[in-house]
Chain A
Amino acid sequence: MERLKRIILIVGLITEGTWGLHLNAQEKLQLGISTQIHNTRLMVDLSSTHVKGAYRPTNVLFAEYSFGKHLAIHTGLGYTMMTQNSDAFKNNFHYLALPLYLKIGRLKDDKRLTFKSFIGMDMHYLLKATHITPNGNETDIMEYSRKFHSDLVGGAGIKVRLSDRFFMEGLVSVSFGSNVAIDNAALMDINNLNTGYRLNLLYKF
């Protein structure tokens, strides 16, 4: 219950300035669903450079509010997963995902194809973390993992107008985050590098 309260508080704080106040703003608000697969690599102290990646999903319900001719705020709520994938073991991290992006590109949807780019942060709240050995033994590693984790993220792609109200975006993204693990006595950091492909379906109010 305490965790739920904290989530609601954070979501409220972050989003009240965007979709909360502008739900009725004609032509400026778009709601959508985003699905992404991203190749996650979790690296120890940045010294492990070829860690085996694994494709994992992200699904987010989002809202975009535009201002000016080229800028929009994009935020939402969803689920994402990251994996530390190795021959020795596998660590799975399940997060509540909260993106907060500044989207840059032509906002006027008078063309069938427009270029879009974005930069921002993916904020994560840890729901579950497990360590799985090759023979299938699973242990909870929540106590060693950060409850809150954020990535810097950027990407670009195209937006396709499907109809007057519906649009589709195809974007590639790169994100980097540090400190998946909590600060520990051995001063070991776990960092993540993700490359992703995302598909957004948008409805324009």
Chain B
Amino acid sequence: MIIVLFLISCESQEPIDESMPLEQKIDLLVEPIVAFGNPSATIIGIVQNGERSFYSYGDAGLGSGPPLPNTIFEIGSITKTYTATLLSQFIMEGLVSLDDPVDKFLPDSVDPPTFEGQPIRLRHLVTHTSGLPREIYNFDADYSVMWSELEIEDLYTFLNDISRQAYPFGDYTNGNELQSLGKVFNYSNVGMAILGHILELVSGEKFDQLVEERICSMLNMDDTKIYRNLTQEQKERIPKAYDINQYENDFPHEMGAYVSAGGLLSTVDDMLDYMEANMEDSSFLSQSMQKCQEGIYYEEDLPGTFPKGIADAIGMAWFISHENGDTIAYHNGGYNHLSYIKFNRTKKLGVVAFSNTASEVGPRLIETIFDWINE
């Protein structure tokens, strides 16, 4: 018995030596995980020293084995960085200011909540400091509510309900005011949805049009769209998705009024274009992207609520770290698929990854890979 237990404890993978080539290290890291299906298919794209490399594992279920650089995944909440880029452009064009209150743009029928007489401003929405809850509804309690069914009117009703203390899923008000404003970090999909809608009201264009005209067409990102704008051929490049228990996830890819919080789909190819543009400063687009990577609220501004360990500041949607003089930006996303982007703007390197399985393991892998290339 002792011998058996000893043998059991001895089994381990070939250790990863830091001196190994990156490809070998990534293989050793990811292959054992994909073999056990968590995630069951994943693709990683890296930009380093001006060159791109791709690492793909598992079976995307599309007949071609592992995911390809043009396999289309939901980017989920990384969409928020597109929303922030649009906001940044609008600011640079003088159309809006970070200090504009939301009621400046919303219809008169909407009465947004306030805090000590101060209104929610665009800076609060884009930094998750508005005091608004994470979701418009309590999705934990009511899975029957699909984001795809959300309409703009629901956002208006939600804001009015918060103001009238009629919001049924938690106490977010003090009297008829918000509990906080600019002091507490509370990741809010609904806040980003309201911001995206405000950009639509300012421009008179739909969010997907704005993304197409102002970002994707500039970078030739032909595979980055909301679901309904994809062609049939593009839709056939979307792999099935699986939840943490590896059951098939079949939530709609449409996000309804949440489109600016998580409605885009893309490929690793396109997302590397996007990441590289975020690390440049030569164009209006890149400059607008860089503005998003400047810290607005720092960890010490949001004591006890800013997520520990992932960044030291929140910019416009991006989580920002400052390490040895370098600026590192990060965001992830997940609904049906999982997505991840992290780059060092100073060193001009970074990683984009998608997987088809909800997993706590996936982000851990990508963090490790980023640390390897960022050494």
Query: Which A positions have Cβ atoms within 8 angstroms of B?
Result: 10, 13-14, 42, 44-45, 47-52, 84, 86-89, 91, 100, 121, 123, 131, 133-135, 137, 139, 141, 144, 146-150, 179, 181-188, 190
Q: When the two chains form the complex, which single residue of B7, B28, B247, B356 contacts A185, counting CB atoms closer than 8 Å? A: B28
Number of residues of chain B lying within 8 A (CB) of chain A: 42
B213 touches A (CB below 8 Å): no
CA distance A102 to B61 in the complex (A): 46
Q: Is the CB of B4 within 8 A of A88?
A: no
CA distance A65 to B230 in the complex (A): 69
Q: Considering only CB atoms, which chain A residue lies closest to B241 in the complex?
A: A88
Contacts of B65 in A (CB 8 A): 137
B35 touches A (CB below 8 Å): yes
Q: Which of B321-375 contact A (CB under 8 A)?
A: 356-357, 359-361, 364-365, 368
Contacts of A149 in B (CB 8 A): 8
Contacts of B244 in A (CB 8 A): 44, 47-48
Q: Considering only CB atoms, which chain A residue lies closest to B34 in the complex?
A: A131
Contacts of A50 in B (CB 8 A): 245, 247
Contacts of A144 in B (CB 8 A): 13, 31-32, 35-36
Contacts of A185 in B (CB 8 A): 13, 15-16, 28-29, 32, 368
**Which 8 A-B pairs have CB atoms at the shortest separation, nearest pair first?**
A86-B246, A183-B12, A88-B40, A87-B248, A184-B32, A144-B32, A133-B59, A141-B35
Q: How far is the CB of A60 from chain B (nearest CB, A)?
A: 17
CA distance A14 to B8 in the complex (A): 15
B242 touches A (CB below 8 Å): yes
Q: Considering only CB atoms, which chain A residue lies closest to B62 in the complex?
A: A135
With A45-B360, A146-B11 known to touch, is A91 a contact of B37 (CB < 8 Å)?
yes
CA distance A42 to B245 in the complex (A): 10
Contacts of B16 in A (CB 8 A): 185
Q: Is the CB of A188 within 8 A of B36?
A: yes
Q: Is the CB of B7 within 8 A of A186?
A: no
Q: How far is the CB of B56 from chain A (nearest CB, A)?
A: 14
B5 touches A (CB below 8 Å): yes
Contacts of B7 in A (CB 8 A): 147-148
With A13-B3, A44-B38, A182-B32 known to touch, is A51 a contact of B245 (CB < 8 Å)?
yes
With A14-B1, A185-B16 known to touch, is A150 a contact of B8 (CB < 8 Å)?
yes
Q: How far is the CB of A92 from chain B (nearest CB, A)?
A: 12
Q: Is the CB of B360 within 8 A of A47?
A: yes
Q: When the two chains form the complex, which single residue of B3, B36, B63, B240 contacts A91, counting CB atoms closer than 8 Å? A: B36
Q: How far is the CB of B270 from chain A (nearest CB, A)?
A: 25
Q: Which of B1-60 contact A (CB under 8 A)?
A: 1, 3-5, 7-8, 11-13, 15-16, 28-33, 35-38, 40-41, 59
Contacts of A42 in B (CB 8 A): 36
Q: Is the CB of B12 within 8 A of A182?
A: yes
Contacts of B368 in A (CB 8 A): 185-186
Q: Is the CB of A146 within 8 A of B361?
A: no
Q: Is the CB of A131 within 8 A of B29?
A: no
Q: Is the CB of B36 within 8 A of A44?
A: yes
Q: When the two chains form the complex, which single residue of A84, A179, A186 contacts B32, counting CB atoms closer than 8 Å? A: A186
Q: Considering only CB atoms, which chain A residue lies closest to B38 in the complex?
A: A44
Q: Is the CB of B36 within 8 A of A84?
A: yes
Residue in A84, A87, A146 with the greatest tally of chain B CB atoms within 10 Å: A87
Q: Is the CB of A48 within 8 A of B246?
A: yes
Q: Is the CB of A84 within 8 A of B3?
A: no
CA distance A190 to B65 in the complex (A): 24
CA distance A68 to B159 in the complex (A): 75
CA distance A184 to B28 in the complex (A): 8
Contacts of A88 in B (CB 8 A): 37, 40-41, 61, 240, 242, 246, 248, 356-357
Q: When the two chains form the complex, which single residue of A86, A141, A146, A182 contacts B245, counting CB atoms closer than 8 Å? A: A86
With A13-B3, A148-B4, A150-B5 known to touch, is A87 a contact of B13 (CB < 8 Å)?
no
With A86-B242, A89-B59, A185-B16 known to touch, is A131 a contact of B1 (CB < 8 Å)?
no
Q: How far is the CB of B319 from chain A (nearest CB, A)?
A: 22
CA distance A186 to B63 in the complex (A): 28
Q: When the two chains form the complex, which single residue of B31, B32, B40 contacts A89, counting CB atoms closer than 8 Å? A: B40
CA distance A141 to B34 in the complex (A): 10
Q: How far is the CB of A151 from chain B (nearest CB, A)?
A: 11
